[in-house]
């Protein structure tokens, strides 16, 4: 009788969306998996913290999914937390203009290519601008040169002015976390096509009804244990021993070391800057990717004071600066909302008091009927490395998920910054791990 071989081992570094997806997938493929996460919780860049002043659990920043995020949806199913999301039937987005005017983009229930034209025609834009926006949407399906920024694309497709301000810029900030002149048109349009070329539900927001700590961090330990994955929290990898052909050990901040054999797998699911810090020679491109920040001002209006008018869970502030969106948790307490800024460098070096002042002043411009001096508790959350910038020319800096070209034979990489064809999103992170897994033999 043939001897039963021991399970192959896999060590996963990083417990964000990519690392969790990789760990579950490796366990399903017969590996004996250990997941090492530097912090005391999983979830990576989507996490919550306890706000001592209010006793509330706040997110480091609101995260929205789209209906087309299938890999992220599968992870939430695996964690047992998909029920903590509100899935809209179709895209609904409110636009708030300075002075208080409000427009809505609301698609009907038909496939998006059929639903978009009437929705754009109902938008409160002059007729010529609506026609230009329609033309822009139609040409989003055409191939785009890799060196074009989104600003190039907008200019060449006749989208400057109102279509840019109202339609494209909010979409660009939401998807790319930067301004149109900083990001690659091709990466933006790839996401747009996934969302806007199919059924209405693909383009709709899927919004959490509980903090991200509940959806990911709290649920992960039990779900990983059910899958047979060993979880080490507080395990920060500080060094790799890279031999001629393979990584032979990982060193951790607490002085421990994990030895690896040539047929053991090491999967890094770290952000670009962390992989670069850990071992700069592995993939020098990781050190050349730029980061973009996200800043959130969580508001809690005092009891009995006037609440901010509620125009739905996602409101884009047209021409807003430095904040771009007002977000609410569906079904949440009306006194709570968040102002979010994507990729704006105005915040660099600013104090919390200055940021709070800017948030209140901007609310005063967009909601004149709601006095900006209404008593409210404000908590600022700043994420300096929220996303990488998917700029033109950044594709070669992003390795394909899986084995690095010329890299150690037992080392595989994934993470939102690897080349999935998508920008930095939860879906990109989950798909990077799926792509890595697809290259492995099933055992």
Ligand X SMILES: Cc1cc2nc3c(=O)[nH]c(=O)nc-3n(C[C@H](O)[C@H](O)[C@H](O)COP(=O)(O)OP(=O)(O)OC[C@H]3O[C@@H](n4cnc5c(N)ncnc54)[C@H](O)[C@@H]3O)c2cc1C
Q: How far is the CB of 189 from ligand X (least distance, A)?
A: 17
Q: Which is nearer to ligand X, 17 or 125 (CB)?
A: 17
Is 17 a binding residue for ligand X by CB under 6 A? The answer is yes
Write each residue from 392 to 431 as x if it is in contact with ligand X (CB under 6 A), else as -, in one continuous string.
-----------------------xx-------xxxx-x--
Q: Which is nearer to ligand X, 163 or 342 (CB)?
A: 342
Write each residue from 62 to 91 as x if it is in contact with ligand X (CB under 6 A), else as -, in one continuous string.
-xx---------------------------
Q: Which is nearer to ligand X, 125 or 150 (CB)?
A: 150
85-87 and 92-96: which strand pairing? unpaired
As to burial, measured by CB atoms within 10 angstroms (0-12 exposed, 13-18 middle, 19+ buried), residue 261 is: exposed
Any residues with CB less than 8 A from the CB of 119 and at least 6 apart, and which? 105, 106, 107, 108
Is 231 a binding residue for ligand X by CB under 6 A? The answer is no
Write each residue from 351 to 390 as x if it is in contact with ligand X (CB under 6 A), else as -, in one continuous string.
--------------------------------x--xx---
Write each residue from 18 to 57 as x if it is in contact with ligand X (CB under 6 A), else as -, in one continuous string.
xx----------------xxxx----xxx-----------
Q: How far is the CB of 171 from ligand X (least distance, A)?
A: 13
Q: How far is the CB of 63 from ligand X (least distance, A)?
A: 4
Is 61 a binding residue for ligand X by CB under 6 A? The answer is yes
Q: Which is nearer to ligand X, 104 or 277 (CB)?
A: 277
Number of shown-chain residues binding ligand X (CB under 6 A): 36
User: Judged by CB under 6 A, which of 180, 271, 320, 407 binds ligand X?
Assistant: 271
User: Judged by CB under 6 A, which of 8, 10, 12, 14 binds ligand X?
Assistant: 14
Is 294 a binding residue for ligand X by CB under 6 A? The answer is yes
User: Judged by CB under 6 A, which of 33, 58, 60, 362 binds ligand X?
Assistant: 60
Is 341 a binding residue for ligand X by CB under 6 A? The answer is no
Is 16 a binding residue for ligand X by CB under 6 A? The answer is yes
Measuring CA to CA, how many Å separate 233 from each of 15, 51, 322? Answer: 9, 22, 36
Q: Which is nearer to ligand X, 132 or 398 (CB)?
A: 398
Measuring CA to CA, how many Å separate 15 from each of 166, 230, 313, 402? Answer: 37, 12, 28, 17
Q: Which is nearer to ligand X, 133 or 278 (CB)?
A: 278
Is 217 a binding residue for ligand X by CB under 6 A? The answer is no
Token pair of 59 as six digits: 């997110």
- Residues in the site for ligand X, rule: CB under 6 A? 13-19, 36-39, 44-46, 60-61, 63-64, 236-237, 269-271, 274, 278, 294, 383, 386-387, 415-416, 424-427, 429
């Amino acid at each position: 009788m043939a001897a039963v071989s021991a399970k192959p081992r896999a060590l996963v570094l990083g417990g964000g969306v990519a690392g969790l997806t990789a760990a579950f997938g490796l366990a399903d493929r017969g590996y004996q998996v250990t997941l090492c996460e530097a912090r005391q919780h999983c979830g990576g860049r989507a996490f919550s913290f306890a706000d001592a002043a209010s006793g509330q659990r706040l997110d480091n920043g609101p995260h929205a999914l789209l209906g087309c995020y299938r890999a992220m949806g599968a992870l939430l199913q695996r964690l047992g937390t998909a029920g903590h999301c509100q899935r809209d039937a179709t895209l609904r987005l409110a636009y708030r203009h300075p002075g208080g005017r409000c427009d809505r983009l609301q698609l009907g229930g038909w496939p998006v290519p059929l639903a978009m034209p009437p929705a754009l025609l109902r938008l409160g834009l002059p007729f010529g601008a609506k026609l230009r926006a329609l033309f822009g949407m139609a040409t989003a399906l055409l191939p785009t040169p890799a060196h074009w920024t989104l600003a190039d694309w907008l200019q060449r497709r006749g989208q400057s002015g109102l279509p840019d301000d109202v339609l494209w810029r909010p979409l660009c900030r939401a998807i790319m976390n930067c301004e149109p002149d900083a990001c690659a048109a091709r990466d933006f349009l790839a996401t747009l096509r996934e969302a806007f070329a199919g059924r209405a539900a693909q383009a709709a927001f899927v919004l959490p009804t509980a903090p991200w700590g509940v959806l990911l961090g709290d649920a992960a330990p039990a779900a990983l244990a059910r899958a047979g994955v060993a979880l080490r929290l507080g395990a920060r990898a500080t060094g790799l021993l890279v031999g001629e052909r393979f990584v032979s050990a990982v060193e951790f901040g607490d002085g421990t070391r994990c030895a690896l054999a040539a047929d053991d797998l090491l999967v890094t699911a770290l952000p670009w800057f962390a992989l670069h810090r850990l071992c700069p020679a592995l993939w020098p491109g990781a050190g050349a990717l730029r980061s973009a920040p996200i800043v959130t001002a969580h508001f809690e209006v005092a009891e009995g004071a006037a609440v901010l008018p509620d125009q739905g869970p996602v409101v884009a502030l047209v021409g807003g600066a430095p904040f771009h969106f007002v977000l609410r948790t569906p079904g949440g307490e009306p006194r709570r909302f968040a102002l979010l800024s994507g990729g704006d460098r105005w915040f660099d070096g600013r104090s919390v008091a200055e940021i709070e002042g800017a948030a209140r002043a901007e609310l005063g411009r967009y909601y004149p009927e709601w006095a900006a001096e209404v008593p409210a508790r404000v908590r600022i959350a700043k994420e300096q490395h929220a996303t990488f910038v998917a700029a033109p020319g950044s594709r070669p800096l992003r390795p394909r998920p899986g084995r690095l070209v010329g890299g150690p034979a037992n080392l595989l990489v994934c993470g939102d910054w690897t080349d999935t064809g998508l920008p930095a999103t939860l879906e990109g992170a989950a798909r990077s791990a799926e792509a890595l897994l697809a290259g492995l033999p099933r055992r």
